[in-house]
Structure 1
Amino acid sequence: MRIGILGLGRIGTFHAETLAALDAVGSLVVADPFANAAKAAAERFGAEVADSPEAVLASGVDGVVIAAATDAHPALILAAVEAGVPVFCEKPVARTMAEGLEVLQGVAGRGVPVQIGFNRRFDAGFTAARDAVLSGELGRLHTVRAVTLDPAPPPAAYIAASGGIFRDCAVHDFDVIRWVTGREVSEVYAVGGNRGADFIREAGDADTTGAVLTLDDGTVAVVSNSRHNARGYDVRLELHGFADSVAVGLEDRLPLRSVEPGATFPAGVPHDFFMDRFTAAYRAELTAFTEVVAGVRPSPCTVEDALEAGWIAEACTLSLREHRPVPLAEVRRG
């Protein structure tokens, strides 16, 4: 099949490399506002270059991958759907929830699949954890713990445009908690602070946060996030039930050092970046998209799914600002 890629920055180039290696993909068509980026990708991956997103959509592509800046996501998603081209778009759907709802309305009933990029749904560990929940082997859940710790903050310009740590970072934890447990979040309480880079504080954001999510069945989920983890990129999930407990990320490349006498775990080289940690998940995610394009499976992460995680991020942002619990119903009314 023929796949278009809109945006050839860090993640767009990574997606181009992944797609070029998939047996299902025969050719790539790329476009980027910076002509040199598109040219470099074309030379590296044997892709064709188009001079605009419109040209990509008109080039006979079977599907399109959107890896452009967040502000461009709504218009590009809607343009692809209008052209009848299946879409994969990196999260978030839009910069604001209001814009996201406009996208949801614009794609509803059009019959064109849209897949939003939440790669943890395709990681082997998270998939096994979900299977353990769905099979009932853990019994009824009572506690969930999720962790995402970055090795270092992104650049100041990225932070300023990110929408905040809950919308940019923790939203992955929020999505995977919903997906793994099969439950919705009813209320949140969030705290946070700044322990490092001044530019994060100046942007009105926090660099270290904690959030307690109450799920609709009473399960308590605790989410911990930070932009500062000197040992590496740490992503984990614990699920504790009345019959058993399991953990995702408890492996030899876990960036955590035990101080127990005689302990040798973890013994591997720590993960140092999200592309390192989730290389296989990204490949599985884009393989799934080729199956969506081929019409053999529905979108595994819809616009509506992505907005559900976004509402949790909105509630946490409000909770942190106002120092109080926030029911999800409150932000949904907004």
Structure 2
Amino acid sequence: MNKVIVGVIGAGRIGRLHVDNLQKLPSLEVKAVSEAYLNEELKLWAESQGIGLLTTDTEIILQDPEIMAVFICTPTDTHAELIIRAARAGKHIFCEKPVSLSLEKTMEALRVVGEEGVLLQVGFNRRMDPNFRRLKQLVEEGELGAPHVVKITSRDPQPPSEAYIRSSGGMFMDMTIHDFDMARYLAGSEVVEVYARGANLIDPVFGRNGDIDTAVVTLSFQNGVIAVIDNSRQAVYGYDQRVEVFGSLGSACADNCRPTTVELSTAAGITRDKPHHFFLERYSQAYIDEVVSFSAAIQLGETVICGGNDGMQAERIAKAAKESLETGLPVQLPLQTEVEAC
């Protein structure tokens, strides 16, 4: 089977992570990387990775006939335009979340993807986490009966920088959007009502930038499932990522991942390792597996694990959560026809 030749657009932290992972996979080959802001550190990194071309010109990647797929790892406000340009160039697309901060721009990008007949995978990598995939399998196999409640805890170990907060799109679009996607994934249905409460309890920097650092969101689904999500920008003990699905025949929980499973019991108490400290550790395998899945979708004609419509629906929920937070009222979310996009 021929390799998938790839171009990566954006060489920040997440772009370099993807390149590092792509280089480990025999089914893919990174031919070129584009980055608007080149420096000596990036040049040395590209050389160490054996990248043949490091450029500031994205168009070189889009117009290269050998490159079959692009990874979009740039700031969110550039995603939709790059998706459109890549689709019109005939490239399959992997794009980090969210597709955009505007539903109108997202829908336009998905429309072009559908017209051009290329694949689009959105980077909700948590779907590929082995623990959460096992929960999904249990739900699909009926082991839990009819799902009733999905509970998601997602708490960062420390707040991001103020510069990041200013450009993030807010907690719901930046952080909770992963949990909105996970709730849809496990509930197997669409959200019809969103109710959000939030506060500034950690650092006034969030409030100064019109954001919150603590939130609880309740989602009601068309099939009757209720989801409860709690978020915090600072869990002093580590990166807290837990999910439970409760159903008519039982419940299943995915606990935090830790450096070891050792539990020490003494007269002084019982201790075990704290959770992994950050998302790069916690979801290291998920980042690899989502790329493997994308490659298989291209080579074998399989459906992507998380497509354009999934990205759009998560954005719709995030927008509704922000409206609910501002009004103090539940927000009804009418069912929307899926945009035709892979």
TM-score range, shorter chain: over 0.9
Query: How far apart, CA to CA, are the structure 1 residues paired with 2:54 and 2:258?
Result: 42
Cα deviation per residue 1:201-237 (whole Å; 9 max; x = unaligned)? 0111110000111111222210001101111111111
Please list, as runs of the form range in 1=range in 2, the aligned pairs for 1:298-313 lying within 5 A after superposition: 298-313=303-318
Query: How far apart, CA to CA, are the structure 2 residues paired with 1:200 and 1:144?
Result: 28
226-235 vs 214-223, greater mean Cα deviation: 214-223
Cα deviation per residue 1:62-113 (whole Å; 9 max; x = unaligned)? 2110101111111111111111010100001012112111112222232111
TM-score where L is the length of structure 2? 0.91
SS in 2 for 1:109: helix
Aligned with 1:6 (options 9, 21, 41): 9
Cα deviation per residue 1:298-334 (whole Å; 9 max; x = unaligned)? 22211111010111111110000100011112999xx
1:45 is the counterpart of 2:28:
no
Amino acid at match of 2:177: V
Query: How far apart, CA to CA, are the structure 2 residues paired with 1:38 and 1:61?
Result: 21
Cα deviation per residue 1:16-57 (whole Å; 9 max; x = unaligned)? 101111111233310100122652331121112233111012
SS in 2 for 1:210: strand
Q: Structure 1 stretches (4+) deviating beyond 6 angstroms?
A: none
The match for 2:182 is: 176
Verify the 8 A CA contact 1:146 1:224 in the aligned structure 2. Answer: yes
Please list, as runs of the form range in 1=range in 2, the aligned pairs for 1:1-334 lying within 5 A after superposition: 1-36=4-39, 38-47=42-51, 48-59=53-64, 60-252=66-258, 264=270, 267-329=272-334
Query: How far apart, CA to CA, are the structure 1 residues paired with 2:128 and 2:143?
Result: 21
Q: CA RMSD in A?
A: 2.3
Verify the 8 A CA contact 1:32 1:38 in the aligned structure 2. Answer: no
Query: How far apart, CA to CA, are the structure 1 residues paired with 2:244 and 2:209?
Result: 32
Query: How far apart, CA to CA, are the structure 2 residues paired with 1:81 and 1:8?
Result: 21
Verify the 8 A CA contact 1:2 1:29 in the aligned structure 2. Answer: no
Verify the 8 A CA contact 2:244 2:251 in the aligned structure 1. Answer: yes
Verify the 8 A CA contact 2:258 2:276 in the aligned structure 1. Answer: no
The match for 2:340 is: none
SS in 2 for 1:23: coil
Indicate how the Cα distance of structure 1 residues 143 and 72 shifts in structure 2: closer, same or farther if over 3 A, else same: same
- Percent identical residues: 36
Amino acid at match of 1:13: R
Indicate how the Cα distance of structure 1 residues 263 and 3 shifts in structure 2: closer, same or farther if over 3 A, else same: farther
Alpha-carbon shift at residue 252 of structure 1 (Å): 4.4
SS in 2 for 1:225: strand
TM-score where L is the length of structure 1? 0.93
Indicate how the Cα distance of structure 1 residues 162 and 143 shifts in structure 2: closer, same or farther if over 3 A, else same: same
Query: How far apart, CA to CA, are the structure 2 residues paired with 1:283 and 1:34?
Result: 26
Structure 1 unaligned spans of 5+:
none
286-295 vs 34-43, greater mean Cα deviation: 34-43
Verify the 8 A CA contact 2:170 2:212 in the aligned structure 1. Answer: yes
Amino acid at match of 1:44: S
Indicate how the Cα distance of structure 1 residues 149 and 253 shifts in structure 2: closer, same or farther if over 3 A, else same: farther
SS in 2 for 1:173: helix
Structure 2 unaligned spans of 5+:
338-342
Indicate how the Cα distance of structure 1 residues 331 and 305 shifts in structure 2: closer, same or farther if over 3 A, else same: closer
How many residue pairs get aligned? The number is: 329
Cα deviation per residue 1:250-276 (whole Å; 9 max; x = unaligned)? 55459xx9xxx98736x2342111010
292-301 vs 104-113, greater mean Cα deviation: 292-301
Verify the 8 A CA contact 1:149 1:228 in the aligned structure 2. Answer: yes
Indicate how the Cα distance of structure 1 residues 240 and 196 shifts in structure 2: closer, same or farther if over 3 A, else same: same
Indicate how the Cα distance of structure 1 residues 215 and 141 shifts in structure 2: closer, same or farther if over 3 A, else same: same
Amino acid at match of 2:9: L
